[in-house]
Amino acid sequence: MKTMKKYIKTAFFCSMYWLIVQLNIANLGTRIPDKYFRQKYIIFKSFNFEKHGKFWNKWFYVRKWKHKILDGHQLNQNIYDQRHLMTIILMKLKK
């Protein structure tokens, strides 16, 4: 019984640690200027093998589980609310 409490306590503290770390990383990410997120930067360009998302849907079934992920806007108001995003028109997006 003592070891079970120890495992539960350890799991709780590890969970709290990662929650705090991830929220802080997200908070720091909102402070990065928008100019670094433009599609011209190499890390945000789509690769040819992705085929506009078909690769990810075929191999990882993204459409089946994507709606289950918590939207960051609910925890941090500085993150863009993606629930109402239908198309990506840069001029219409507000931070």
User: Is 68 inside a domain boundary?
Assistant: yes
Give the count of domains, the chain. Answer: 1
Express each pLDDT in 36-67 by its tens digit: 777 666 777 778 888 888 999 999 998 888 88
Supply the Cα-derived Rg of the chain in whole angstroms: 18
User: Is 27 inside a domain boundary?
Assistant: no
User: Is 23 inside a domain boundary?
Assistant: no
Q: Which residues contact 61 (CB under 8 A, 6 or more apart)?
A: none
- What is the rounded distance in angstroms from the CA atom of residue 15 to the CA atom of residue 19? 6
- What is the rounded distance in angstroms from the CA atom of residue 78 to the CA atom of residue 27? 8
Residue-number span of the structural domain to which 60 is assigned: 48-95
- Asked if pLDDT for residue 32 goes beyond 90, the answer is no
Rounded to 10 degrees, what is the CA torsion of 89, 41, 50, 87?
-10
Q: What is the pLDDT of residue 94?
A: 57
Q: What is the pLDDT of residue 93?
A: 57
- Asked if pLDDT for residue 13 goes beyond 80, the answer is yes
- Asked if pLDDT for residue 84 goes beyond 70, the answer is no
Q: What is the pLDDT of residue 66?
A: 82
Single pTM value for the model: 0.53
User: Is 6 inside a domain boundary?
Assistant: no
